[in-house]
Amino acid sequence: MFDSVLVANRGEIAVRVFRTLRRLGVRAIAVHTDADAGALHVRLADEAVRVPSYLDIGAVVAAARATGARAVHPGYGFLAENTAFARACADAGVVFVGPPAAAIDAMGDKIRAKRTVAAAGVPVVPGRDEPGLTDEQLAVAALEVGLPVLLKPSAGGGGKGMRLVRDAAELPEAIASARREARTSFGDDTLLAERFVENPRHIEIQVFADAHGGAVHLGERECSLQRRHQKIVEEAPSPLLDAAARARMGASAVAAARAVGYVGAGTVEYIVSADRPGEYFFMEMNTRLQVEHPVTEMAIRPDLDLVELQLRVAGGEPLPFDQDAVAFHGHAVEARVYAEDPARGFLPTGGRVLALTEPAGDGVRVDSGLETGTDVGGSYDPMLAKVIAWGGDRATALARLDRALASYTLLGVPTNVAFLRSLLKHPEVAAGRLDTGLVERSLKALTAGAAVPEHVLAAAALERMRSLETGDPDPWAIPDGWRPGAPAWTPWIITPAGGEPVEVRVQGRAGGARVRVGDAEPVPAALHGDALTYGDRTLPLAMIRDGATLWIGRDGATWALTDHVRATAEAGAAATGDGVLRSPMPGTVLAVKAAEGDAVAAGQPLVVVEAMKMEHTVTAPVAGVVTRLPARAGAQVALDAVLAVIEEA
């Protein structure tokens, strides 16, 4: 075993690797950028070194040599599948905890990977993968493959740069957008075209190989619940496969690994038709540890640690078990917690973690890089944490995960936790009838409960009333609308973030009052500490104020309630004109597709904004003339920043 390991990553995966290093008594070394100087992974390390970027190969290798690290664990993302980095580590005499550079090279390019595994007898999706295709040639190739077609970057993974095209008229813009995102994410805009399998399920096989010829698979993971071609819920085993199908796909995955002389942890990803589960096609091989590796660990056996296994294999040890020793015991499900807004198309969010309570208990595991005070910005991937639950069967695991998410409280950063709970309750998910389009098809229903509940608005108004109270028994001491005979109604304007202002009237004090939310009937209510009594119900809440914004959380949902002011005749929120385009997320302007004075049609793409390597095209809401265009390519913009103003025709 190595005596010191540098982890060339950040966030939850760095913290997770450090956990194994600590248990093994190995010295843990971190790298960090200026933005992450105070991050949790830095403070958990035995030593940390500043680098200009997590992608700076020279700086990361220099940090390893300067600290005496014997090995480098890349985690996932950043340099994890970078051939040049693997070779640079070898040249510096530092062990790269991953496969040989040649294997990364063979599998990192999707075109080469498909040809390599096809030669080994692994079935591949029909498509066109000639390198160097121009936009026009790629469009022709896509039509030859047959619509619907999936455009995919040859380099990289994680769903970045993928575009599903169902109409030939969409091809030019889809190709341009896919190339732009692939170039930004991977430095390579080469694309390939694959037939899109209808009702597809995404099933992957975890493989492990050592340097002594040993190779096994550790069963499958079902990863069909996705948004933007990125996974959000994973489970093991898949509810689709039986033992025979698992054995066939596992043997195919091992064959793919052997075809490139693989060593270490890897994942072979397949697309499987929900209608024909016996038919599967190779998609790609991820030459690293996967985000969702905890479900394999928990579903195989409690003491399985894939990071430890990576370290031991990288150190030259043989695999400690063979294929006959691998079997599932129970079921595990993982949900990824993202800083994003599902109701706004999963746009990235951000902010500072003001309060954090992560779930715990039997059969529940959390992999997280968060703590109170963590700043979540737009520079890195929006995934914050993973909540994993195990049960003796699938139903138990799903129920346990739901309860764990209900106890997850993060105030200060909007997340997808409430959405995840809705998704787990979806009838098709509960029945195991999954496919990669389920989330998009069901998005409206899954986000239907996003409106702020009455009791939350009531709590916000009572919190405002409480802030006025001084403890003085004199009824004239606070401006609460008291008058002889009966208290007057004190009006407040409560504005949910991204929503419309609501008038909430309070008659009485925070400890006992009647509250009227909008036009609803008055309800008896009281706020004692963070417990709200509303009508006949008493509801514990998580609450914290950040300047003008009150954050409230309950059952995994959070609400940011801003601009709390006492209502007057003139009070209210200024309505935005129909022709004002605002940025849907904090990020960088990638492209501006109009100029001041241009006549534009409703729905015409005007500005492309990128955050966390995801693009969003902002379109004209009305037909008219562009009268103002503050957006500039390359400029940083805040959430709701004005990008353009259109005077309606």
Do residues 387 and 359 touch, judged by C-beta distance below 8 A?
Answer: yes
- List the one residue out of 107, 86, 99, 20 whose CA is nearest residue 264: 99
C-alpha 592/C-alpha 61 separation (Å) is 39
Q: Which residues pair with 331 in a beta bridge?
A: 391
CATH architecture for segment(s) 200-205+225-236+289-449: 2-Layer Sandwich (3.30)
Taking residues 245-265, report their average pLDDT.
95
Q: What are phi and psi of 109, to 5 degrees?
A: -95, 115
Query: To 10 degrees, the CA torsion angle through 277, 153, 185, 78?
Result: 60
Do residues 349 and 338 touch, judged by C-beta distance below 8 A?
Answer: no
Containing 585, the helix (H) or strand (E) segment is: none
C-alpha 263/C-alpha 311 separation (Å) is 11
Q: Evaluate if residue 491 carries a pLDDT over 70.
A: yes
**CATH number 3.40.50.20 given to 4-97:** yes
Taking residues 261-273, report their average pLDDT.
95
The neighbour count for residue 523, using CB atoms within 10 Å, is 18
C-alpha 409/C-alpha 405 separation (Å) is 8
The alpha carbon of residue 336 and the mean position of all alpha carbons in its chain are separated, in whole angstroms, by 6
Q: Evaluate if residue 39 carries a pLDDT over 70.
A: yes
Report the mean per-residue pLDDT for the chain: 91
Helix (H, G, I), strand (E, B) or coil at 166: coil
C-alpha 344/C-alpha 549 separation (Å) is 20
Residue percentage of the chain with pLDDT more than 90: 72
The segment with the largest mean pLDDT, out of 151-160, 291-300, 596-605, is 291-300
- List the one residue out of 130, 129, 95, 120 whose CA is nearest residue 260: 120
Q: What are phi and psi of 10, to 5 degrees?
A: -145, 180
Taking residues 381-393, report their average pLDDT.
96
C-alpha 359/C-alpha 401 separation (Å) is 10
Q: Evaluate if residue 105 carries a pLDDT over 70.
A: yes
- pTM for the whole thing? 0.81
Cis peptide before 414 (omega within 30 of 0): no
The per-residue pLDDT for 566 is 46
C-alpha 228/C-alpha 243 separation (Å) is 31
C-alpha 130/C-alpha 273 separation (Å) is 25
C-alpha 468/C-alpha 307 separation (Å) is 54
Reported for 629-632, long-range contacts at CB under 8 A and 24+ positions apart, including other chains, are 629/592, 629/594, 629/595, 629/596, 631/589, 631/592, 631/607, 632/589, 632/592
Amino acid, res. 581: L
The per-residue pLDDT for 577 is 43
CA dihedral sign of residues 579, 580, 586, 590: positive
Q: Evaluate if residue 138 carries a pLDDT over 70.
A: yes
C-alpha 272/C-alpha 74 separation (Å) is 30
- List the one residue out of 88, 84, 87, 89 whose CA is nearest residue 5: 89
pLDDT, one tens digit per residue, over 174-212 is 999 999 999 988 889 999 998 888 889 999 999 999 999
The residue length of the chain stands at: 649
Residue 485 pLDDT level (bands cut at 50, 70, 90): low
More confidently predicted of 486 and 208: 208
The per-residue pLDDT for 426 is 97
Residue 572 pLDDT level (bands cut at 50, 70, 90): very low
C-alpha 400/C-alpha 405 separation (Å) is 9
Q: Which of 31-45, 206-220, 370-384 has the lowest mean pLDDT?
A: 370-384
Do residues 344 and 609 touch, judged by C-beta distance below 8 A?
Answer: no
Q: Which of 92-101, 130-139, 286-295, 519-528 has the lowest mean pLDDT?
A: 130-139
Residue 573 pLDDT level (bands cut at 50, 70, 90): very low
C-alpha 565/C-alpha 290 separation (Å) is 47
The segment with the largest mean pLDDT, out of 104-113, 323-332, 501-510, 576-585, is 323-332
Q: Which of 145-159, 288-302, 593-607 has the lowest mean pLDDT?
A: 145-159
**CATH number 3.30.1490.20 given to 126-195:** yes
- List the one residue out of 533, 554, 534 whose CA is nearest residue 544: 554
> What letter does residue 452 receive in the DSSP assignment?
P
Q: Evaluate if residue 609 carries a pLDDT over 90.
A: no
The per-residue pLDDT for 569 is 33
Q: Which residues pair with 647 in a beta bridge?
A: 625
Structure tokens at 246: 């698992």
The per-residue pLDDT for 574 is 29
Residue percentage of the chain with pLDDT more than 70: 94
More confidently predicted of 80 and 637: 80
The per-residue pLDDT for 402 is 98
C-alpha 543/C-alpha 530 separation (Å) is 6
474, HSE (Cβ side, Cα atoms, 13 Å): 6
The per-residue pLDDT for 565 is 45
> What letter does residue 308 receive in the DSSP assignment?
H
pLDDT, one tens digit per residue, over 415-474 is 999 999 999 999 999 999 999 999 999 999 999 877 899 999 999 999 999 988 866 555
Q: Evaluate if residue 576 carries a pLDDT over 50.
A: no
pLDDT, one tens digit per residue, over 224-249 is 999 988 999 999 999 999 999 999 99
**CATH number 2.40.50.100 given to 580-648:** yes
Burial string for 61-73 (b: 16+ CB within 10 Å, else e) reads: bebbeebebbbbb
Q: Which fold has domain 454-566?
A: Glycoprotein, Type 4 Pilin (3.30.700)
Matching residue, tokens 């996967």: 290
The per-residue pLDDT for 570 is 33
Residue 171 pLDDT level (bands cut at 50, 70, 90): very high
Helix (H, G, I), strand (E, B) or coil at 533: strand
More confidently predicted of 449 and 625: 625
The per-residue pLDDT for 638 is 74
- List the one residue out of 110, 122, 64 whose CA is nearest residue 90: 64
Q: What are phi and psi of 421, to 5 degrees?
A: -65, -40
C-alpha 181/C-alpha 649 separation (Å) is 34
Amino acid, res. 60: V
C-alpha 159/C-alpha 614 separation (Å) is 10
Do residues 543 and 496 touch, judged by C-beta distance below 8 A?
Answer: no
Query: Where along the chain do its domains lie?
Result: 4-97, 126-195, 200-205+225-236+289-449, 454-566, 580-648
